[in-house]
Structure 1
Amino acid sequence: MLLILWLLIVPMLIGILLNGILPIFRRTVGITFILGYLAYFGLFEIIAIPCMTRITYGAFGYCYRYFFASSIVLAVLGLTRLILVLVKEGPSFLSVFPGDTHAGARELMSPRSDPKGLKLDYSVEARIYWGIFFVLLAVQMVLAVVMSSFDGDDAYYVVESLLAQQVDVMNTIHPYTGISTSLDIRHAFAVITMWIAFVAKGSGVHSTIVAHSIIPLVVIPFVYLVYVEIGRILFRRRQEVIPVFMLVVSFLMMFGNVSIYTPATFFLMRTWQGKAMVANLVFPLILWIFLWLLEDIRETSGNGKLTWMQKVAPWFILTLVNMLSGICSSLGIVFGGGLVALYTLVLLFFRKKWTCLLGAFVSVIPSMIYVLVYMSLRGA
């Protein structure tokens, strides 16, 4: 029950707290959950890195207490907002998450439509494809647990989580020898290991079990959720094609083990590692945000101007994605920033406004701060 609390309920409530920044037609359960998790990770980075770099003894204990209190406060605020919206809009969750009724893209994107009253019925064929996809998803999740693979990196990354859980340290004991050492700058800033330790300590489950048996059950469907949102934009006029798109993505993941270095291999065999999340979660999230921005350009030309909040929302989420890249891997900062720069050039070609450059620059400010802190500590 505590695992469900920290891995599902708290992030969802944080997403509910923040989803007011989203356009009405994007306040779906899926996007709300993505937003909540990104804010959840961003909050952890803000707390974990100062605790790790400024506190000498019992650093993880302080990190655990600060993050515990902060996330609970945000979750309670999200629950309060949920209750208020339910009272105001009605008892149905569709009032809180409009657009989650498979409404047609054209009607759903129109400002004159009521998303709560729209529904697109999938054909029998599309329902069969969805069924096949969910079976494949279940197979991947089950096999990721019962056939969990172990590699040399587990002796380092998983042990770092375990040491944090049991000894209250943050990267100051060498995992190979058990000897106290100075802060390991090379690996320390990828605090995803500390987040796993937080989940383990908060639920009373061993860190190794959390890493190998619990995290895949969260990350695998989360990645596919991001691809669903990508498909909703790519096939906005033909939503019934989305399950076919998801089947293609699923097969690419299942049969992508052509070498030990492919993203698909990391996705299913080393899911709990930060580099696996960078390749399979952070990069698709960046692509989704820029598809969102390109779609907004089309809607602006067809239905009038977007509000200030609608313009800011994707850049805010992109900022959280860049923070997630640093949590997962230090190299995620480099590659994530490169993707943002590349996609911004494409966006600039279509939008032809300097404001997209400003949005991209603001979104990478956390990455710049991350690099500056990293270099200052490495130089010291």
Structure 2
Amino acid sequence: MLISALILIFMILILPLETGRLLARFDRTPGRDTGMVFLAGFLFQIVLFFPVALGCMFFIRQDNFAVCTRIYLILSLIPAVAGAICRVKELKERKPEAPEKAAKPEVYSNTGEVKNGKFRDAEKMILWGAFLVILAFQLYKAVTTAFIDGDNTFYVTQSLIAQQQGVMFTNLPYTGGPTSLDMRHALAVLPLWFAYLAKISGIHATVLCKTVMPLFLIPLTYLVFFEIAKILYPEENNNIPFFLCIVAIFEMFGSVSIYTAERFFLTRTWQGKAMLGSVVIPVIILGLLLLAKSYGEKEGAGVKTAWYLIVSTGILSGICTSLGAAYSAGLVATGCFILAICKKKPGIFVTGLLACIPQVLYMAAYVLLK
């Protein structure tokens, strides 16, 4: 069990982080933090699974999931190893820092906040503590509470069939019997990605989806909102933890019906529809905010990262659920249209339409295959 846990940590934490370090070399925006680097690497890793899974699904008949697992494992390791090598070279080439000067005495503002320091203010620490308590409670309930959900018959079972029988969408999840390729769900390969993680780590797919993945996907969602808060509140103050507390409270008490994004976020965390609402759409909003910021005071800084987030999440939306491609394309087109008007740069809207090409191709393929 310990070895399985370490393998899973390596697959969903270390590989995305090192991949993100490689991607960060293409957009050296000052102030890039580890959270954004990890997010970029995670998107790359999961989007990379899409063409591999489709290729094996349509062109390989026997044991196609086993072939998909081997190919994707090799391809996912290549950018991560390259990122680790680049990181080692950067550390070796980094010049030794000058000896630190004596620390300046802390200067307090009229509000009592310590200047030239991070999180030293008591109010800020209380807010961060409150958020962490709420997050810990959500993780505890997500792991220990079982929710009745009919969709599990399909999503989790497809992951389990892929892990144990080595086939992709060619067995009925309700009976286990063989059938033709399920074209309706074939393009939404997120259950197969979970099956890949289960296969590599040796963890049962049901346990992985319903117990382990919430421990990763829920903090990932708050990481996205943390990056959004940093753009909305660039000054270092109490607004960021307060913003996260508000978001966490809305997530806890937003289950006013069985169809809200908040309910999916906490009760169906591992499903594609849940990831669409809790990860994909917030990342698109993050990309649009970063794009607006890049055309502000420091024009050009962060443009590549913004478009990367927008395009990669457009692909991820289709991986999560078929309708996600249409939703993400509409959001990107609308956001870029508003930015083009506000910034008086028509090129933003044109580029935004080009960024929606993956979703258009996805929807065309869905219609033709179905």
Same fold, TM exceeding 0.5? yes
Q: Which position in structure 2 is the counterpart of 1:366?
A: 358
Q: Name the CA distance, whole Å, in 1 between partners of 2:61 and 2:154.
A: 21
Letter in 1 for 2:147: S
Local SS of the residue matching 2:297: helix
Do the aligned residues in 1 keep the contact of 2:16 with 2:42 (CA within 8 Å)? yes
TM-score normalized with structure 2 length: 0.90
For residues 1-380 of structure 1, what are the structure 2 equivalents within 5 Å? 1-89=6-94, 120-300=118-298, 305-306=299-300, 310-378=302-370
Query: Identity of aligned pairs, percent?
Result: 39
Do the aligned residues in 2 keep the contact of 1:289 with 1:314 (CA within 8 Å)? yes
Do the aligned residues in 1 keep the contact of 2:188 with 2:318 (CA within 8 Å)? yes
How far is 1:239 from its partner?
A: 3.5
Local SS of the residue matching 1:156: helix
Letter in 2 for 1:269: T
Change (3 A) 1:188 1:122: farther
Q: Which position in structure 1 is the counterpart of 2:107?
A: none
Local SS of the residue matching 1:187: coil
Q: Name the CA distance, whole Å, in 1 between partners of 2:320 and 2:31.
A: 27
Letter in 2 for 1:227: F
User: Which moved further from structure 2: 214-223 or 229-238?
Assistant: 229-238
Q: Name the CA distance, whole Å, in 1 between partners of 2:127 and 2:96.
A: 31
How far is 1:37 from its partner?
A: 0.5
Q: Name the CA distance, whole Å, in 2 between partners of 1:45 and 1:197.
A: 13
Local SS of the residue matching 1:239: coil
Local SS of the residue matching 2:152: helix
**1:177-206 superposed Cα distances (whole Å, 9 cap, x missing partner):** 111111111112110000000000000000
Do the aligned residues in 1 keep the contact of 2:27 with 2:304 (CA within 8 Å)? no
Q: Which position in structure 1 is the counterpart of 2:102?
A: none
How far is 1:120 from its partner?
A: 3.9
Show structure 1 runs of 5+ residues with no match. Answer: 93-117
How far is 1:263 from its partner?
A: 0.7
**1:104-134 superposed Cα distances (whole Å, 9 cap, x missing partner):** xxxxxxxxxxxxxx85444110111001101
Q: Name the CA distance, whole Å, in 2 between partners of 1:26 and 1:349.
A: 28
How far is 1:257 from its partner?
A: 1.4
How far is 1:219 from its partner?
A: 0.4
Q: Name the CA distance, whole Å, in 2 between partners of 1:119 and 1:52.
A: 53
Q: Name the CA distance, whole Å, in 1 between partners of 2:134 and 2:169.
A: 37
Do the aligned residues in 2 keep the contact of 1:122 with 1:240 (CA within 8 Å)? no
Letter in 2 for 1:242: I
Show structure 2 runs of 5+ residues with no match. Answer: 1-5, 98-115
**1:323-357 superposed Cα distances (whole Å, 9 cap, x missing partner):** 11011011110111111111111111112223212
How far is 1:375 from its partner?
A: 2.3
Change (3 A) 1:46 1:238: same
TM-score normalized with structure 1 length: 0.88
Q: Name the CA distance, whole Å, in 2 between partners of 1:62 and 1:361.
A: 35
Q: Name the CA distance, whole Å, in 1 between partners of 2:344 and 2:180.
A: 49
How far is 1:89 from its partner?
A: 2.4
Do the aligned residues in 1 keep the contact of 2:119 with 2:125 (CA within 8 Å)? no
Letter in 2 for 1:306: G
How far is 1:264 from its partner?
A: 0.7
Q: Name the CA distance, whole Å, in 2 between partners of 1:121 and 1:151.
A: 41
